[in-house]
Chain A
Amino acid sequence: MSEKLLELKNITMKFGGVTALSEVNLHVSKGEIAALIGPNGAGKTTVFNVVTGVYKPTSGEVNFVGQSVVGKKRYQVTKMGIARTFQNIRLFGESTALENVVTGADVHSKSGVVGAIFGTPRSRREEAAALERGMELLEFMGLKHRAGQLGKNLPYGDQRRLEIARALATNPQLLLLDEPAAGFNPAEKVALAATIRKIRDAGYTVLLIEHDMSLIMDISDRVAVLDFGQKIADDVPKVVQNDPRVIEAYLGAPADAS
């Protein structure tokens, strides 16, 4: 049942003398919503950067549907089916919302510069398909009315949603969300939880980094906890919530423990 989509084996990532990740083992199963939590600086975003090919791990393996990701170019990783959003929103602000999404949808087009100049039938077909897919995704994320507006002019929440739409446009098997609820009010968080469930139900697998515990406990099937670059827990939310090591990592050791 639980087919492993993404698997990290003994990942160590060192930056000079700093060990950001040490011997991390992690997997994401197909069809689940997995969460990655941990205090600031624990190495969560580093995991995303290793998985998407931004960093090459010092040692260890990253496998995605049986293929190694290590050493692949970033755009190749995206093509393999991993897409992500960013902790600090990084939209193409000078492009319209639709263009942002269609840029992602272009990954699977085969026509390029020559096709565009001569307007080959394949280029026309792929352009039309990419635009249609872009519109569909904007509608899916509730942004259809924003299609013609510039990324930088959208309200904050819409920018976050647009980033998700852009990532989905690459048609990923695995969607990595880096703090999607950052800066959201409680009502928006509830709406986001529904959206993430909707994304999962549409057939995508989700791995998210989040600080909001109620959101995590609400939607995730499994929670992995990082602390100082090491995985200290990995289980269903209920168990993780009561794990003394996790509580210690977040709140510090009780004064009378030693």
Chain B
Amino acid sequence: MADKKNRYNIRDHAATYWENSPKWRRVSMSIAFIAFFYALPFLNNPLVNTPGSDFQSVLFYPVGMYVLMAIGLNIVVGKSGLLDLGYVAFFAIGAYTMAILGTHTALNFWEILPIGIALSMVAGVLLGTPTLRLRGDYLAIVTLGFGEIVRIVAVNIEAIGGPRGIAGIPTPPDLFKAKFTILDPKPYYWVLLTFTLLVIWMVRRMAARRPGRAWDAIRQDDDVAQLMGVNTLKYKVWAFVLGAAVAGAGGVLYASQILSIVPDQFNLNVSILILACVVFGGIGNLWGVILGAALLAFTPERIRFLSQPRILVFGIALVVMMNLRPDGILPKKKREHFDPNWKSVEESGEGEIK
């Protein structure tokens, strides 16, 4: 135990450095960090290259998309402790909204986006209000069912293409000088990155304030949370709805890039894989989840040269990782402060520190 405590912990050192940095240094570090990710498609490094598939495409899907979805699912699973196995349903609702409205109306991507998000949120409320009274395994089963229902409904409605899906989805109109075409995934990646940054900002704000405390309380002890005055059902539904909104936005963007969708793209595997990203990265920890999703999405593409056995190699890598770090790559860990005169970071107006 003792030597574990004294072990050099890069994370604590980084967090301390960040906390003690003046505002200008934090701002410039953040800008550099964000700029790096905007410039990422131009990076042509043999280490991160993806032989066998286009690196810029890989950045948009799966990497960027998984990261966005994992952050959204982390609000539900990580922050509030609600096991949702049907998360793909909200992604499908966003994608189908884009596909249907894009092919049948004159609305463009930017006009459909808020509609897609809103419909996903409505679906979140409709599913969440009755089912979030359930706990644990029961909730998992109901959400699993919901995910499958959405897909099966899409397969069986001929008006929306049935099992053949919808083709000919329009691309977004030009934005500034960027042209959205099938041949150039960069603008999509930049839009996706912007979404992701917005969601990160939103999640960090909530986590440090009342909703974050309510979710923490619900996850740790639902009964006590209620007795301490937390309207648990309300905050669970909010977690669900916010998660749904993120997936819905992802779905709209995905459909506008892929140009044709079929129901089978939205199967249970996607829900499970996104959940794996969350658990693999470190359930409840925003940065861990981002890293986990990026790795899980990127690795199969990186080792595509292995061809057939690559899924096996990927699976083995997962099993090994889960044995070495059962709590994920970057486990959720709250930093403790032993200084008797410590004032909370929230009080000084900064975001949460992990």
The chain A residues found within 8 Å of chain B, CB to CB, are: 52, 54, 73-75, 78-79, 83-84, 86, 90, 92-96, 98-99, 102-104, 106-107, 109, 111-113, 115-117, 119, 123, 126-128, 130-131, 144-145, 147-150, 153, 166-167, 170
* A78:B336 contact, CB within 8 angstroms: no
Q: Does B327 count as interface, using CB distance less than 8 angstroms?
A: no
* B229:A116 contact, CB within 8 angstroms: no
Residues of chain A with a CB closer than 8 A to B225's CB: 103
Residues of chain B with a CB closer than 8 A to A126's CB: 210
* A116:B210 contact, CB within 8 angstroms: yes
How far, in angstroms, from A188 to B310 measured CA to CA in the complex?
63
Q: Does B247 count as interface, using CB distance less than 8 angstroms?
A: no
How far, in angstroms, from A153 to B336 measured CA to CA in the complex?
10
Q: Does B291 count as interface, using CB distance less than 8 angstroms?
A: no
Residues of chain B with a CB closer than 8 A to A127's CB: 209-210, 346
Q: How many A-B residue pairs have CB under 8 A?
A: 118
Can you give 8 contacting A-B residue pairs, CB < 8 Å?
A: A84-B227, A96-B334, A106-B213, A106-B229, A113-B235, A115-B210, A147-B337, A149-B337
Residues of chain A with a CB closer than 8 A to B226's CB: 73-75, 78
Q: Does B231 count as interface, using CB distance less than 8 angstroms?
A: yes
CB-nearest residue of chain A relative to B202? A117
* A95:B220 contact, CB within 8 angstroms: yes
* A150:B336 contact, CB within 8 angstroms: yes
Q: Does B338 count as interface, using CB distance less than 8 angstroms?
A: yes
* A103:B213 contact, CB within 8 angstroms: yes
Q: Does B179 count as interface, using CB distance less than 8 angstroms?
A: no
With beta carbons under 8 angstroms apart, the residue of B221, B227, B238, B344 that contacts A52 is B227
Complex interface bits, B338-350 against A, C-beta within 8 A gives 1, otherwise 0: 1110101011000
CB-nearest residue of chain B relative to A99? B213
With beta carbons under 8 angstroms apart, the residue of A83, A103, A148 that contacts B216 is A103
How far, in angstroms, from A145 to B342 measured CA to CA in the complex?
8
- Assess A116 versus B205: contact at CB under 8 Å? Given A149-B338, A153-B336: yes
* A144:B334 contact, CB within 8 angstroms: no
Give chain A nearest CB distance to B67 CB in angstroms.
Answer: 20
Beyond contacts A84-B227, A96-B337, A116-B209: 4 other A-B pairs, Cβ-Cβ < 8 A, are: A74-B223, A112-B234, A115-B210, A149-B337
Residues of chain A with a CB closer than 8 A to B334's CB: 94-96, 150
How far, in angstroms, from A224 to B266 measured CA to CA in the complex?
62
* B242:A148 contact, CB within 8 angstroms: no
Give chain A nearest CB distance to B132 CB in angstroms.
Answer: 14
Give chain B nearest CB distance to A190 CB in angstroms.
Answer: 25
Residues of chain A with a CB closer than 8 A to B234's CB: 112
CB-nearest residue of chain B relative to A144? B340
* A123:B229 contact, CB within 8 angstroms: no
Give chain B nearest CB distance to A119 CB in angstroms.
Answer: 7
How far, in angstroms, from A111 to B212 measured CA to CA in the complex?
13
Residues of chain B with a CB closer than 8 A to A145's CB: 340
Complex interface bits, B186-219 against A, C-beta within 8 A gives 1, otherwise 0: 0000000000000000100110011111101100
* A99:B216 contact, CB within 8 angstroms: yes
In the complex, which range does the number of interface residues on chain B fall in?
35 or more
- Assess A78 versus B227: contact at CB under 8 Å? Given A92-B217, A145-B340: yes
CB-nearest residue of chain A relative to B228? A104
Give chain A nearest CB distance to B21 CB in angstroms.
Answer: 19
Q: Does B232 count as interface, using CB distance less than 8 angstroms?
A: yes
* A75:B232 contact, CB within 8 angstroms: yes
Q: Does B224 count as interface, using CB distance less than 8 angstroms?
A: yes
- Assess A148 versus B339: contact at CB under 8 Å? Given A78-B228, A92-B216, A113-B238: yes
CB-nearest residue of chain B relative to A118? B205
* B242:A113 contact, CB within 8 angstroms: yes
By CB atoms of chain B within 10 A, which of A90, A92, A104, A147 has the most? A92
* A78:B229 contact, CB within 8 angstroms: yes
Give chain B nearest CB distance to A209 CB in angstroms.
Answer: 15
With beta carbons under 8 angstroms apart, the residue of A94, A104, A123, A148 that contacts B337 is A148
How far, in angstroms, from A86 to B228 measured CA to CA in the complex?
11
How far, in angstroms, from A215 to B220 measured CA to CA in the complex?
32
Q: Does B230 count as interface, using CB distance less than 8 angstroms?
A: yes
How far, in angstroms, from A130 to B344 measured CA to CA in the complex?
12
How far, in angstroms, from A111 to B338 measured CA to CA in the complex?
31
Residues of chain A with a CB closer than 8 A to B224's CB: 86, 90, 92
With beta carbons under 8 angstroms apart, the residue of A86, A116, A147, A149 that contacts B344 is A147
Residues of chain A with a CB closer than 8 A to B213's CB: 95, 99, 102-103, 106
How far, in angstroms, from A149 to B211 measured CA to CA in the complex?
20
How far, in angstroms, from A148 to B340 measured CA to CA in the complex?
8
* A106:B214 contact, CB within 8 angstroms: yes
How far, in angstroms, from A170 to B220 measured CA to CA in the complex?
19
How far, in angstroms, from A126 to B213 measured CA to CA in the complex?
14
User: Which 6 A-B pairs give the minimum distances between C-beta atoms?
Assistant: A148-B337, A107-B229, A78-B229, A145-B340, A74-B226, A116-B209
How far, in angstroms, from A167 to B216 measured CA to CA in the complex?
17
* B346:A112 contact, CB within 8 angstroms: no
How far, in angstroms, from A103 to B212 measured CA to CA in the complex?
10
Residues of chain B with a CB closer than 8 A to A86's CB: 224
Residues of chain A with a CB closer than 8 A to B340's CB: 144-145
